[in-house]
């Protein structure tokens, strides 16, 4: 079959490009190996379902161990993802020039693919090919590090029985977020992290607020822990690790391996197309997301960029600008990209920490207050969670915001405003003196920025 465009993987960037080009009259093949992944990872196994589970955990008044409530929450999660998956399927399948092909694709040449499903195979050629195959979990190089049974990824753990004791290997974004969530479902949670502390790249006072909220839920953090081996015993899982030069063992009902993710290029046979990869295994792209083969682009996690759905969406804007626009948009246009770890309360950040700003040569002013001390921020108190901190780093010479770290109710919304201000050169003084809705979490900026 011949197409104008072939998209491998139904991720955010790929499906957006497919829809836009199909509506422009191009013939498009959307190739997805799993019918359970129509719409991409975000709506099926990542952003949406995990946040649904987090919400269900947060609204439960009692935090005792309750497998029945967890099962009900999973059912709600599944209903939500099923509805969104169907909607995403229709958004492409209902377009006249889109052909959905179920199967696993591999390159046979620069613009040719072989798509296989069981005993069936289909040859596909396209002038333009978009690779959007995402990422897969990174496993530690230690004995027993295999998935299955009591050993889980962030995907499989969502449908496992609620563990009485969950061991999490890794203190990064996924590990910390799942620790917060499962503790609120009543699980005992132990986090093993090899770094001096989890969130070790963040300012200490900000990270401490996240740790305090985890401790409130009963999470045990073990820093400086080097995992030696994992094993599944008859009635539990065990993780052996080195801590303070001594071997330790922790046993639990389930283990979440949360050591980051790597680009998913397995099975694509990129060499057959002449597509180059980086030292980390990502598909090598330029600032316009073009690979080493003309007409072939890589978007989302597979190109080695920041692993966020909204970055994949921005990737689609860049590629579409090459194919249908002026061709001027690039990854260099990205400034002040925010992120959030959906702990309770959520931790959101953008830009530089204090240490990073000083290392970059800035003389800084620091606006910082604990949420409980901010008089002009009643919303966290209204909803019953006044924990957290707001910290904003400002360049002393220009009054421009260099970075912000927010740990509080609604921080995932407030951080977008701060990021927008950074992108458009809005000064700290302007944010300080802006009129905000009352009561809201945003109005904290009035008081916090007035402290410098």
Q: What is the pLDDT along the chain (452 residues), one digit of tens a residue?
A: 999 999 999 999 999 999 999 999 999 999 999 999 999 999 999 999 999 999 999 999 888 999 999 999 999 999 999 999 999 999 999 999 999 999 999 999 999 999 999 999 999 999 999 999 999 999 999 999 999 999 999 999 999 999 999 999 999 999 999 999 999 999 999 999 999 999 999 999 999 999 999 999 999 999 999 999 999 998 999 999 999 999 999 999 999 999 999 999 999 999 999 999 999 999 999 999 999 999 999 999 999 999 999 999 999 999 999 999 999 999 999 999 999 999 999 999 999 999 999 999 999 999 999 999 999 999 999 999 999 999 999 999 999 999 999 999 999 999 999 999 999 999 999 999 999 999 999 999 999 999 99
Q: Which helix (H) or strand (E) holds 48?
A: helix 47-58
CATH of 339-449, one of 3.30.390.30, 3.90.1150.10, 3.30.70.3040, 1.10.287.130: 3.30.390.30
Task: Report the binding-site residues for FAD.
Answer: 51, 133-135, 301
CATH superfamily ID and name for 151-259: FAD/NAD(P)-binding domain (3.50.50.60)
Q: Has this prediction a pTM greater than 0.95?
A: yes
Contact 166, 177 (CB under 8 A): no
In the chain, CATH 3.50.50.60 covers 2-137+262-333, 151-259
Single out the residue of 201, 170, 153, 185 nearest to residue 46, CA to CA.
Answer: 153
Task: Report the binding-site residues for NAD(+).
Answer: 170-177, 260
| Residue 438 annotated as catalytic | yes
Q: Which residue has the tokens 């030069």?
A: 245
Each as own residue / partner, the long-range contacts of residues 251-254 (CB below 8 Å, 24 or more positions apart, any chain) are 251/165, 251/167, 252/163, 252/164, 252/165, 252/166, 252/167, 252/188, 252/190, 253/150, 253/161, 253/163, 253/164, 253/165, 253/166, 254/150, 254/151, 254/152, 254/157, 254/160, 254/163, 254/165, 254/166, 254/167
Single out the residue of 65, 53, 258, 57 nearest to residue 168, CA to CA.
Answer: 258
Task: Report the binding-site residues.
Answer: 51, 133-135, 170-177, 260, 301
Backbone conformation region of residue 234, classed left if phi is above 0, alpha if psi is from -120 to 50, else beta: alpha
d(CA 116, CA 204): 50
Q: Which residue in the list 152, 159, 200, 438 is annotated as catalytic?
A: 438
Contact 312, 297 (CB under 8 A): no
Residue 341, burial from CB neighbour count under 10 angstroms (0-12, 13-18, 19+): buried
The torsion of the CA quartet 214, 217, 218, 219, rounded to 10 degrees, works out to -30
Alpha-carbon 131 to chain mean position: 19
Q: CATH second-level architecture of 2-137+262-333?
A: 3-Layer(bba) Sandwich (3.50)
SS3 191: strand
Single out the residue of 39, 36, 33, 41 nearest to residue 105, CA to CA.
Answer: 33
In the chain, CATH 3.30.390.30 covers 339-449
C-beta neighbour count of 399 within 10 angstroms? 16
Alpha-carbon 89 to chain mean position: 22
């Amino acid at each position: 079959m011949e197409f104008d465009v072939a998209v491998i993987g139904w991720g955010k960037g790929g499906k957006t490009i497919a829809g836009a080009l199909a509506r422009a009259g191009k013939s498009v093949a959307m190739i997805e190996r799993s019918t359970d992944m129509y719409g991409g990872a975000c709506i099926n196994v990542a952003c949406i379902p995990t946040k649904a589970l987090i919400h269900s955990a947060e609204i439960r008044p009692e935090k005792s161990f309750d497998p029945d409530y967890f099962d009900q929450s999973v059912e709600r999660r599944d209903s939500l993802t099923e509805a969104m998956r169907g909607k995403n399927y229709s958004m492409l399948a209902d377009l006249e020039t889109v052909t959905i092909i179920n199967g696993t694709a591999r390159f046979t040449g620069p613009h040719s693919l072989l798509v296989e499903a069981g005993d069936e195979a289909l040859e596909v050629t396209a002038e333009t090919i978009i690779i959007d195959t995402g990422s897969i979990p990174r496993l530690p190089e230690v004995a027993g590090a295999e998935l299955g049974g009591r050993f889980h990824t962030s995907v499989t753990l969502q449908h496992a029985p609620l563990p009485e004791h969950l061991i999490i290997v890794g203190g990064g974004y996924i590990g910390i977020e799942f620790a917060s969530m499962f503790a609120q479902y009543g699980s005992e949670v132990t986090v093993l992290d090899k770094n001096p502390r989890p969130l070790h790249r963040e300012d200490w006072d900000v990270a401490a607020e996240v740790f305090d909220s985890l401790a409130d839920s009963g999470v045990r953090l073990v820093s400086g822990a080097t995992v030696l081996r994992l094993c599944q015993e008859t009635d539990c899982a065990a993780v052996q690790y080195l801590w303070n030069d001594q071997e330790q063992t922790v046993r639990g009902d389930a283990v979440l391996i949360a050591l980051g993710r790597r680009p998913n290029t397995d099975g694509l046979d990129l060499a057959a197309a002449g597509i180059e990869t980086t030292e980390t295994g990502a598909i090598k792209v330029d600032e316009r997301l073009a690979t080493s083969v003309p007409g072939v682009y890589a978007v989302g996690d597979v190109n080695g960029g920041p692993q966020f759905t909204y970055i994949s969406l921005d990737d689609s804007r860049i590629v579409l600008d090459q194919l249908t626009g002026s061709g001027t948009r690039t990854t260099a246009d990205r400034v002040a990209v925010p992120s959030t770890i959906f702990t309770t309360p959520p931790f959101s950040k953008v830009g530089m920490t204090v240490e990073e700003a000083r290392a970059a040569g800035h003389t800084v002013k620091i606006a910082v207050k604990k949420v409980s001390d901010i008089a002009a921020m009643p919303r966290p108190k209204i909803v019953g969670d006044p924990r957290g901190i707001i910290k904003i780093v400002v360049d002393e010479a220009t009054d421009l915001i260099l970075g912000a770290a927010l740990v509080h109710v609604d921080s995932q919304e407030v951080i977008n405003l701060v990021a927008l201000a950074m992108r458009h050169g809005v000064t700290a003084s302007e944010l300080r003196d802006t009129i905000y809705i009352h009561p809201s979490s945003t109005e904290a900026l009035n008081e916090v920025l007035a402290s410098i």
